Structure 1
């Protein structure tokens, strides 16, 4: 039995198939999806179909991403968002033109069921973006920060490597959990394409929305497997580039 965490997919079903195969995922594995299943590449509805079906076959934890929340607003409330269109939403809207109403309703129910975060028995926190409350996720005032915050990762990047956890200035957020797994802010922004650890934060978003690969990682061993860069798998599309 393994616990495998999966970074931001952004409509790249071909990449999801690749990492499942390369990691030799079985029904005994627990899969933790960090959110942003949609927006970017052309197969957002198919990604949701795949994960909904997968949940009937094995243990899956599905976290809410900001793009998933934006899609829910559009599907369930017919909210138009021009900024969303420019950041991957347009490809999703076009993809839904051929999706039946019954399937859309299943997707709405799935999107509503997503979790803001997951905390396992080993005090490992899984969240799409981050949190801001220094007392932890149970005390977060604004739930939207779980899938929009970037300060957790920015703080981890800026943290002095020599600072000890018992230092009076050490960020308290990082002392609450043994490990924190996030997506949301692609590591390609710092010139990387593999999962990066800063302090006790692991960033598993390796840029699948743009020119990077999709990643699945074993949280116990830290072994990881990656797809081809999405620009190769969807060579005739622009994605969010």
Structure 2
């Protein structure tokens, strides 16, 4: 069985289809998505519908991202978070034009069922952004850290590769898991259009919301599969503002 981790999609259905076609999925393959399915390009509602249907055919895990939290609340209550509206929410609401109330209800259930993190049987952690507890994700007090925290990634980036895991200065957060897979912070912020590895943390958000690509990676072989640059797939759109 192959397992692929997929980075932040942000309404880029065309990029998602491109990547999945490159994977040439087999029946026993598994997909783990690290969140932020909506907000950015014009097909957010269509991405959610596609993923719901995809999960009927393949083993899928859908981690919840911060943009998914905002969209979920809007679908539930109709309330529009001002920050969300400015950072892709407007385009997501527009993408739902033509969707029935029943379809929106099914999408809400889909969002509600998303876990905040996933831990596989080889002690690999998948989370949208990060976590802050030195005792690991199960002891995290502030649940919003799972989809907002950037300190895990920032900390990993500053570490020297030769620091031993039993060193007194090795961060306890990183000792709990063999590997950690995250999204949330685009690698294009560091002029990199491919997944980045820092210590044992893999960042697979390669900037699909902006000028980058959507990425899937085989978590065993580390082979990567990428879409075209998103602006080339949506030439008449601007993507979203950073948050």
**TM range, normalised to the smaller chain?**
over 0.9
Give the distance between the partners of 1:96 and 1:58, measured in 2 at CA: 25
Corresponding position of 1:101: 101
SS state at 1:97 partner: coil
Q: Within 2, Cα distance between the matches of 1:224 and 1:186?
A: 16
**Residues 206-230 of structure 1: per-residue CA shift (max 9 Å, x gap):** 0000000000000000001000010
Partner of 1:224: 224
Q: Could you list the per-position Cα deviations for residues 126-163 of structure 1 after superposition, in whole angstroms to 9, with x for gaps in the alignment?
A: 00001000000010001111111111001011112332
1:1-16 equivalence runs, <5 A: 1-16=1-16
Which position in structure 2 is the counterpart of 1:208? 208
Farther off after superposition, 193-202 or 49-58:
49-58
The 8 Å contact of residues 128 and 184 in structure 2, kept in 1 or not, is answered as yes
Q: Which runs of 5+ in 2 are unaligned?
A: none
The superposition leaves residues 14-52 of structure 1 with CA deviations (integer Å, 9 ceiling, x where unpaired) of: 000000011212222100011100000010011001110
**Could you tell me which residue of structure 2 aligns to residue 35 of structure 1?**
35
**Structure 1 unmatched ranges of 5 or more:** none
Q: Which residue of 2 aligns with 1:114?
A: 114
8 Å CA contact retained: 2:15, 2:230: yes
Give TM-score scaled by structure 1 length. Answer: 0.98
4+ residue runs of structure 1 moved beyond 3 angstroms? none
What is the CA distance between 1:97 and its match in structure 2?
2.2
The equivalent residue for 1:55 is: 55
Return the TM-score normalized by structure 2.
0.97
Which residue does the alignment assign to 1:137? Answer: 137
Residue 174 of structure 2 is matched in structure 1 by 174
Answer whether contact 2:8 2:209 (CA < 8 A) is retained: yes
Q: What does residue 183 of structure 2 align with?
A: 183
Deviation of 1:99 (Å): 1.5
1:68 CA drift (Å): 0.3
- Return the alpha-carbon distance in structure 2 between the equivalents of residues 43 and 26 of structure 1: 26
Distance between the aligned counterparts of 2:156 and 2:77, measured in 1?
Answer: 36
CA displacement at 1:174 relative to structure 2 = 0.8
Secondary structure, in 3 states, of the residue corresponding to 2:104? helix
